[in-house]
Structure 1
């Protein structure tokens, strides 16, 4: 083909495109489709032509053809915002609501925030989000009704199944353990553990008032608490690839007074808290030479917020015993948010994302200590301790 012939063909394509747009604006949808289709048949259709063809099919009421046209764009450019929106809307019109949800969800990933966008585009995306929200709610309601027909009861049925339903329908997120330093395979992903697994919690809780009596003079002296973040930074230095991930509103807001640190009793505080430490007799404290156990009073000042973060090792679990708890103090692990209650302990997996906030007017203090993960065998505990002790003692040759 000569250069002149090619130019003539390009001109003809441009003329067909212009004629198609004029017909579309005039409401002559059959002509518009014919013009755009002629460009497609000539093998010269680009994204603009496929978009125009999809618009013509939509105007003509042929939503299935509209889907086919816009799919040509998405096959080449899956992140095309306009094409995702058109296909989602067309699928809804065709009654394929579940399929449409995937395209609406992808739009929200592509454009998480509409701020700063032209008003018309922002309005379209806002409408898409509202449509998606209604579809998700409809799906959630339908699934809830169906499983209730099968015998599910929100209050009495399996908690694990209830959580799976909430995750499937978007009412909850999926959280998994993400230890920052050491991962032990095949341990369960449980946010808060059933206290029935830990018979020794009763003796720990029973000592609450004794612990408070030992804590108060230490707290009033005001010289024994240091920034918790600095301690965690020291720990992280011993692990390849780890880093301090905790973030708090101010380092002075989250402080700690250690009774046992890196496996060693801390004088003089340990000697001043014999009842606190005696209450931990029989507790399977994590024991790693040079690193664990540790037992500490953790203080959070009014207004302080510990941002979401994860811990170092999933071979252990963390225990909290609240000692001083003003109103407005809460703690989240994964999807579960709990309020601290004085003398009511819990055990959780700190390698699942968690955060804490003191929205009260007083100081919050909890006793914190780590235990071996109950699903580790004695041999596994021994070997994990040896491995992590070796990490602590290693000094690279320079």
Structure 2
């Protein structure tokens, strides 16, 4: 007999299926549209526009806007970041729920938005990137897309060193979508005697040298091509190349959440903050 698809126990019954579903670690809002990736895959050097899930106009607008400004963002990062210290260690707990370290290897942050709050030092050091995010994602005419006002909102340059990896984990909530805008990417790792015809694929693992898995979907990073993902799904990142991979990470509100709901959610977290349940 095939195994029963449901375990009936005292209390809620448990449905067991192989389907990957979002399961954020802290806060789940039912009824939101959900896919591991909201951007379609595309071949390297393809000139065809990528499809956005559900043809969502708000997500499409953000992707097109960030990609149109990627050269300015990259130039500023390459000029300024080498003069700064990483703020990775000072901004949040980087452990998994089982208290194991979230990553192996070098992982540096340069942070614009941390726990829902704009970071003044970033605005001073990266004025052009700050302006781009501010003008394109924060005003009312942009539906206040930037995921501000909650302890789960982040935006930062994520610099993942050679042979580094970020372990599988889940976001704390499904209220957001996460965008990775790759600005510095190496897609291969040539070794002495390596006769691999496909430089993008690591023959030892069968995976892209520099990639990300969300649920059961795997994508490689391609310079200038934004990835939109729902990080409430189990996901992991790796960089098996000889060079540092850099993305601008931007959290935006899930497009199914209305402005009225955004204000109510932010109000809920502000009340929690006033009561000492959320510290900046």
Residue in structure 2 matching 1:262, options 108, 115, 127: 115
Structure 1 residues 246 and 184: alpha-carbon distance in aligned structure 2, compared to 1, 3 A threshold: farther
Matched residue of 1:308: which SS? strand
- Taking structure 2 as the reference length, the TM-score comes to 0.70
Alignment-derived partner of residue 384 in structure 1 = 265
Aligned equivalents of 2:212, 2:152: Cα separation in 1: 24
Alignment-derived partner of residue 298 in structure 1 = 158
Gaps of 5+ in 1: 1-98, 104-167, 237-241
Aligned equivalents of 2:67, 2:124: Cα separation in 1: 20
Aligned equivalents of 1:293, 1:102: Cα separation in 2: 41
Structure 1 residues 235 and 386: alpha-carbon distance in aligned structure 2, compared to 1, 3 A threshold: farther
Alignment-derived partner of residue 307 in structure 1 = 167
Matched, 1:247 2:102: yes
Compute the RMSD of aligned alpha carbons: 2.9
Aligned equivalents of 1:213, 1:191: Cα separation in 2: 30
- Taking structure 1 as the reference length, the TM-score comes to 0.50
Residue in structure 2 matching 1:273, options 107, 126, 141: 126
Structure 1 residues 300 and 329: alpha-carbon distance in aligned structure 2, compared to 1, 3 A threshold: same
Deviates more, 1:341-350 or 1:255-264: 255-264
Alignment-derived partner of residue 330 in structure 1 = 211
Which structure shows the bigger proportion of residues in helix conformation?
1
Higher relative contact order (CA 8 A, sep 6+): 2
Matched, 1:175 2:29: no
1:226 Cα offset (Å): 3.2
Aligned equivalents of 1:274, 1:215: Cα separation in 2: 11
Question: Aligned runs of 1:156-171 on 2, under 5 Å?
Answer: none
Aligned length: 221
Matched residue of 1:322: which SS? strand
Aligned equivalents of 1:246, 1:380: Cα separation in 2: 34
Matched, 1:373 2:234: no
Which structure shows the bigger proportion of residues in strand conformation?
2
Aligned equivalents of 2:214, 2:104: Cα separation in 1: 19
Runs of 4+ in 1 over 4 A off after TM superposition: 242-246
Q: Is the 8 A contact 1:331 1:356 kept in 2?
A: yes
Which structure would you say has the larger Rg? 1
Gaps of 5+ in 2: 5-16, 40-51, 138-144, 188-208
1:292 Cα offset (Å): 6.3
